[in-house]
Amino acid sequence: MTIETLSTNRSHGGTQGVYKHASAATGTDMSFAVFVPDHAPGAKLPILWYLSGLTCTHANVMEKGEYRAACAEHGIIFVAPDTSPRGPDSNGDEVPDDPDGAWDFGLGAGFYVDATTQPWAKHYRMRSYIEDELPSLLLRHFASADLTRQAITGHSMGGHGALTIGLRGLGRFRSVSAFSPIVAPSRCPWGEKALTGYLGDDREDWQAYDACALLDQGLRVPDLLVDQGEADAFLAEQLKTELLVEACERAGQKAEIRLQPGYDHSYYFISTFLAEHVAWHAERLKA
């Protein structure tokens, strides 16, 4: 479980790094970004995970997210993984991609699932990568990372990942938030395409990757914050925030779900509210 440092930069009284390692989960090299605020020797800092959306890598939030000042202020490590495996794999073979070159499936669109259908099952194991492998890597290589205090957030497809990984986490995360999440992938075109492709036609197999379904099954998170732009072009057809509102009300899930007038799906929206999300998580990550 060795890692290679690709870059480090000083920023806001901390270190922004990008790292690479050979992933056992995906069978490929994987890159991820970590921001570590300056801290006293031996101090342990809580972790905020950020899961990115379709077509993105760790670089999108790292370059546009405007989170570092808030993380430095609150003493939070910020971890941003990639969104899918990328080739070549350990045998030198290319990782499969959508045969039609579509942007919403395949490379950059792993949907944070463990695929079970071919040819995706060998490499598209982003659930195992995020839930198991990368936390173990952090524990080994980042001495200040406190895995007893974790929170998770994400955008769009990454919001779907944050919600579902958070709900399945069984107490691992003290708080969960999301920006413009795909809340019910089994009921929207992006999700139906991805879940059919990665998991097959049996919709029962999709339920573990649908936040609204997980809430209906009785899973909960300690606290939930969601921001959704009202001017988001994907809101009506793909995101369907109202379904999450209804599911939280049915479940009695503690949640603040905010519609933000005039904001779209872009990082102009995310960067406006990400520091606020960091502060919200910080309150819940206190020792």
Active site residues: 156, 232, 265
Q: Please say whether the beta carbons of 189 and 196 come within 8 A.
A: no
Contact 281, 250 (CB under 8 A): no
- The kind and range of the H/E element at 189 are helix 189-199
Which one, of 17, 32, 36, lies nearest residue 75 by Cα?
Answer: 36
Rounded Cα gap, residues 113 and 181, in angstroms: 15
Please, which residues have CB within 8 angstroms of residue 168's CB and are 6 or more apart in sequence? 131, 208, 214, 219
Q: In this structure, are residues 57 and 80 in contact, taking their beta carbons and an 8 Å threshold?
A: no
Amino acid at 144: S
Cα dist. 59→11, 81, 140, 243, 267 in Å? 15, 9, 23, 30, 12
Q: How many whole angstroms separate alpha carbon 180 and alpha carbon 238?
A: 10
The span from the CA of 286 to the CA of 154, in Å, is 21
Distances (CA, A) of 276 to 78, 81, 238, 270: 14, 21, 25, 10
At a CB cut-off of 8 Å and minimum separation 6, what does 120 contact?
A: 96, 197, 198
Distance, CA of 255 to CA of 247 (rounded, Å): 11
